[in-house]
Amino acid sequence: IYCQLCGVLFNISRIRTRKEPREAAWLSLSAKYGTTWVGSNARDHEPCGDDCSVLYRGSAAQKSAGERLDLELHVIDNPTKDELCPDLTGEPSSDTSQYGPEYGPKLIEGSLEKLQTSENTLHTLDAPSGLSIEDLNTDFEPLSVIEDLDDGEIGLKALNDLRCDYEHIAGPNCEYLDGYNGNHISVGEMRECSTVQCLVRKIDGWEPLDDDQDFEKYSSCCLTGLARGLDPIWSNRFSPVRHGSSEWVTAANDCDYTLRSEEVAIWVGLPFHPTCFELFRRASIKALGRVATEELMNLRDYYCKYPERTAEPFCQRNDDVVDSFQEGDWRYNRGAEYLVANPIFIPTFKQICDAARTVPEDFSIQGSPFFGHDDPAKSSNKDPFLRLPSEILQAIVGYLGSKDIALLRLSSRAFRHLPISVWYWLLVEELPFIYEAWSDDVHPYKWSLIDSGRFQALTKRGEEYERMREATIETLRTNDTDNLETWMKNSPAAKSWYDTDEYNIGMASCMEESKALQPVSLPYDKTNWYKLYIEIVKNWKDLKGLQNRKRIWKDITDIISRMMEHAEAKTDEDEQVDI
Ligand SMILES: [Zn+2]
Ligand SMILES: [Zn+2]
Ligand SMILES: [Zn+2]
């Protein structure tokens, strides 16, 4: 499945660099080879050249179970059986957590979270705390190692398996198209690119929740919790369970024809990245004064039901997205990395905004951003613009784009001292997706702030604990009934993970982390709009999140106008039926 708003898949792989820890590499688990890293399968490696290397990770088939757990729980060491088994000695547990006794593999404190939120992760990553880079990355070998595996005797499948034991490590010019190259997009930039949330229709007997968003209260649709799209099984398990949704929701796209029947459609969620929904929410309020969830849902269902009336899926409009989809597979094209960059939490853009907001006390947006002397030789006295009052000059500028203004400034002295406010209007006109400039409240909605991996890990630990607990009870019941009662008293059943303190503390702490990166509002009269504009243009190449925001904003604006066309057409149809 892909995001219904931006058209990008949720299961996206990443090839790490030599400098990054193991967690910085991941493979969409629906991929064929059963590893958590991008293996060196039989694809031709020659284009990679000498920059790339491989790292032996052991037999892929045997490792997969343990390493998968590593990925999901963010741990490095495989859990031993002892660690997974609850204490059987019958002594009261010293652990007072609400899960009861010590269980499950330990999380390395903040490892992946740290990677995802650190502001300094643009091009380099630190190893998780307590581990040095050297511990994690040793024995890189040249690509020729995997070429040598082929003695001409083994079949292609066996060779493939052998090669996948070797993780591909990306150099700057890596041409390996099974994952995005870590040299070109950081883990921090890819923050939450696998997170799925759904919009679903309310079911009969729907009850409001305390944490409902306003638009959930008043429409026929509501939000699920979050899931992770890396794993086909877990991509449909939304946590926390909201409005009973986890039991019955499946996510599907507008190309899914099973949605043609009304009875099925009611069970099917409309999936998106929470950050894409944040943009939809803003664009919808801007255009319609409200979050039009119902119209969005209706449009998706319409595209499902009448594929013959609709030329293409409604979000696959961007050329880079179309180029990346090849026969249902995702191609990790070089230069298209921005497609998976988080469009809301953008560390470098935040720095630019902070700098533009730092203005001297006597700052005025009617002032000129330029300093220095006029050069009389460059503009003649015959310059007609010099005779015009400044209000007229500003009105002229109002009709021009940034390039024309730059030219005008060169050709006429009259335009050299345009006030800073001119760049405010330019920005709002040309870069409307920078909502920080025109929105009073830039706080993202709650679910876009949350690290879904963290909560999925909690869910899994809770389930694993339950599983081990039941197995132990079963064993004691047959072999050691004397101790059964004591043991059960010391090992209570797990609460739902989202009822625990651990959840609440985790939720609070990841909200805090996200807030450090969230957009800041830019007050009209206290922002150096010239500086902001110039810095955005100058750094555009590195502002992948902002590039992605521009793309998604365009798609969403288009979706909203189609939503409204569809809603109008529907009303007309209904009226005709009435007659
Ligand atoms: Zn999206
Ligand atoms: Zn490579
Ligand atoms: Zn607010």
The single-letter DSSP state of residue 85 is: S
Tell me if residue 154 falls in helix, strand or coil: coil
Contact in structure between 241 and 470 (CB atoms under 8 Å): no
Instruction: Report how far ligand 2's centroid is from the alpha carbon of 155 (Å).
Output: 24
Distance 325 CA to ligand 1 centre (A): 15
pLDDT tens digits, one per residue of 538-565: 999 999 999 999 999 999 999 999 999 8
Tell me the C-alpha distance between 487 and 485, whole Å: 5
| Distance between CA atoms of residues 473 and 470, nearest Å | 5
Residue 281 C-alpha to ligand 3 middle, in angstroms?
14
153 alpha carbon to ligand 2 midpoint, in Å? 26
Q: Separation of 17 CA from ligand 3 center, angstroms?
A: 38
Task: Record the tokens describing residue 542, joined without a space.
Answer: 């590195």
Q: Is 0.85 exceeded by the ipTM?
A: no
Ligand 1 center–CA 247 separation, angstroms: 24
d(CA 61, CA 161): 8
CB atoms within 10 A of CB 64: 16
- For residue 240, cis peptide bond before it (omega within 30 degrees of 0): yes
Residue 200 dihedral angles phi and psi, to the nearest 5°:
-130, 160
What confidence score (pLDDT) does residue 114 get?
A: 35
CA of 572 to the centre of ligand 1 (A): 32
Q: Which two tokens stand for residue 237?
A: 């398990």
Cα–Cα distance for residue pair 146/168, rounded to 1 Å: 10
C-alpha 134/C-alpha 126 separation (Å) is 11
**Taking ligand 3, which is a single-atom ion, which protein residues have CB atoms under 5 Å away?**
441, 443
Tell me how far apart the alpha carbons of residues 80 and 59 are, in angstroms, rounded to a whole number. 19
pLDDT of 396 reads: 72
Q: Which ligand is nearest to the CA of 334?
A: 2
Report how far ligand 2's centroid is from the alpha carbon of 189 (Å). Answer: 21
Domain boundaries, the chain: 17-74+110-181, 195-327+554-578
Distance 253 CA to ligand 1 centre (A): 12
Cα(175) to centroid of ligand 2, in Å? 5
**Ligand number with the minimum distance to the CA of 16:** 2
Q: How far is the CA of 193 from the centre of ligand 2 (A)?
A: 22
Which single residue is written with the structure tokens 């651990």? 502
Q: Which two tokens stand for residue 383?
A: 């310059």
Give the ligand with the smallest distance to the CA of 47: 2
CA of 47 to the centre of ligand 2 (A): 8
Which residue has tokens 């050297």? Answer: 134
> Could you tell me the end-to-end alpha-carbon distance of the chain, in angstroms, rounded to an integer?
41
Whole-Å CA distances, 206 to 203, 243, 517: 6, 7, 35
CA distances from 358 to 298, 396, 433, 523, 541 (A): 45, 29, 22, 11, 24
Classified as helix, coil or strand, 251 is strand
pLDDT value at position 166?
Answer: 86
Query: How many other C-beta atoms are found inside a 10 Å radius of the C-beta of residue 211?
Result: 11
pLDDT attached to residue 259: 62
Distance 511 CA to ligand 3 centre (A): 14
Instruction: Identify the bridge partners of residue 329 per DSSP, sorted by sequence position.
Output: 326
What residues contact 474, with CB distance under 8 A and at least 6 apart?
none
Per the listing, tokens 């066309």 go with 565
Give the distance (Å) from ligand 1 centre to CA of residue 274. 7
Alpha carbon of 140 to ligand 2 centroid (Å): 13
Kindly give the parts of the chain with pLDDT less than 50.
62-134, 372-379, 579
275 Cα–ligand 1 center, Å: 7
Ligand 1 centroid – CA 272 distance (Å): 5
Q: How far apart are CA 166 and CA 159, in angstroms?
A: 12
For residue 440, report the distance from its CA to the centre of ligand 3, in Å: 8
Task: For residue range 236-285, list pLDDT tens digits in order.
Answer: 778 777 877 656 678 887 666 666 666 666 778 899 999 999 999 999 99
The rounded Å distance from CA 442 to ligand 3 centre is: 6
Would you give the DSSP letter of residue 52? -
Separation of 519 CA from ligand 3 center, angstroms? 11
Enumerate residues 6+ apart whose C-beta is below 8 A from 355: 531, 535
What is the rounded distance in angstroms from the CA atom of residue 320 to the CA atom of residue 298? Answer: 27
470 CA distance to ligand 1 middle (Å) = 40
DSSP 495: P
Distance from residue 468's CA to the centre of ligand 2 (Å): 41
| Burial environment of residue 521 by CB neighbours within 10 A (0 to 12, 13 to 18, 19 or more) | middle
Distance from the alpha carbon of residue 8 to the mean position of ligand 1, in angstroms: 6
Q: Which two tokens stand for residue 437?
A: 């400039």
Q: How far apart are CA 156 and CA 38, in angstroms?
A: 18
Q: What is the DSSP string of 509-567?
A: HHHHHHHHHS-----GGGS-HHHHHHHHHHHGGG-HHHHHHHHHHHHHHHHHHHHHHHH
The ligand that comes nearest to the alpha carbon of residue 4 is 1
Q: How far is the CA of 190 from the centre of ligand 2 (A)?
A: 20
Q: Output the furthest CA–CA distance in the chain (Å, rounded).
A: 106
Handedness of CA 166, 169, 174, 177 (dihedral sign): positive
For residue 196, which ligand has an atom nearest its CA?
1
Going by their DSSP bridges, the two strands 180-181 and 195-201 should be labelled as unpaired
Residue 332 CA, ligand 2 centroid: distance in Å: 12
The pLDDT value given to residue 182: 94
Tell me how far apart the alpha carbons of residues 92 and 491 are, in angstroms, rounded to a whole number.
Answer: 9
Pair of tokens at residue 391 = 């209000």
The ligand with the least distance to the CA atom of 197 is: 1
| Structural tokens at position 111 | 């490892």
Neighbours of 576 (CB within 10 A): 8
Answer left, alpha or beta for residue 34, where phi above 0 means left and psi between -120 and 50 means alpha: left
Tell me the ligand closest to 15's alpha carbon: 2
| Confidence at residue 513, expressed as pLDDT on a 0 to 100 scale | 82
